[in-house]
Amino acid sequence: MTEVQTQTRQRPPTLQDVIQRIDGVSTLPQIALRVMEVANDPDTGAADLKEVMESDAALGARVLRCVNSSAYAVRTEITNLQQAIAYLGLKQVRNLAMTASVSELFTTSGTIGPYQRSQLWRHLVSVGIGARLIAMRRRFTNFEDMFLAGLLHDLGIILEDQHVHEPFCEVIRSLHADRTLAEAEQQHLGFDHTTLAEAVAEMWGFPEAVKAAVRYHHASVGYRGSQIDVVRCVEVANLICTLKGISSVGLKLVKLCRPALEGLSLGREDIAILAEDLDREITANASLFQI
């Protein structure tokens, strides 16, 4: 092996390398990308979503099983997607379909030090639930968009785990209480999960709310776009979940986001109430974790 070949092999992959690698494989099921495309298109509706989901019988069955769980308290069993969309609405069924699809990224278990893939999945769903709770408390009308943004906010972590696994292992092993995950990622990867997820979300055509949340959920103060409420809700939900021990990488590394709290007019009492409500909502929505 020549010296040039050795240097090339040892060179860590750049952000662009990883994006190209992800683009070359079906990391997220194609049905999920179609669901997102249809739901994000103002010229489509319930019939279009139903048609897309019917192309994947297993996905449709998983969504219907969730709709008929105790979380939704349906009086009579819902037996088809048309009924589900009529009962829950397009966006909530979209969220169930996305939850079911994203869960496929976590079908194989994995543990690296404090990090567990199963706990990252629990964190994603919990932050989605938490962001929706905060939005409802602040009387925002787009609370289902908040759930989706929360569900996908740490997509970059599982992508690192899958596509740059060895350097990701180094990141996790280097974590300690005095540094953030992003700081460790920058040291070992040269980028972090927020910039990776933003690039992938752009490539996959995700909505602006999701792109903003995946990039700025640790730093809403730096965001200048129209989705500031979404970003703040996800950032605060991420904080609450992490403090409750439902963290992304097994350690409580998230810092207090005072500007986000102030921007949402949330005080200490609000956070305490939201933390209690989150426990109940997680229990009520247990089916989401196994969808």
Q: Looking at the domain that runs over 3-289, which CATH code has it been given? A: 1.10.3210.10
Phi, psi of 116, rounded to the nearest 5 degrees: -135, 135
pLDDT, position 26: 66
Ranges in the chain, pLDDT < 50: 1-9
The verdict on pTM exceeding 0.85 is: yes
Residue 40's pLDDT is: 81
Give the model's pLDDT for residue 5: 44
Domain regions of the chain by residue span: 3-289
Q: What is the pLDDT of residue 28?
A: 81
The pair of structure tokens assigned to 58 is 């297993």
pLDDT value for 7:
43
Q: What is the DSSP letter of 207?
A: -
**b/e for 156-191, b at 16 or more Cβ within 10 A?**
bbbbbbbbbeebbbbbbeebeeeeebbebbeebbeb
Beta partners for 116?
A: 111
- The Cα 217–Cα 35 span in angstroms is 24
Question: What residues contact residue 171 under an 8 Å CB cut-off, 6+ apart?
Answer: 160, 181, 184, 185, 187, 188, 189
Greatest CA separation for the chain: 70
pLDDT at 231: 98
Position 124 scores a pLDDT of 98
**pLDDT tens digits along 176-234:** 888 899 999 999 999 999 999 999 999 998 999 999 999 999 999 999 999 999 999 99
The predicted-structure confidence for 201-215, as pLDDT tens digits, reads as follows 999 989 999 999 999
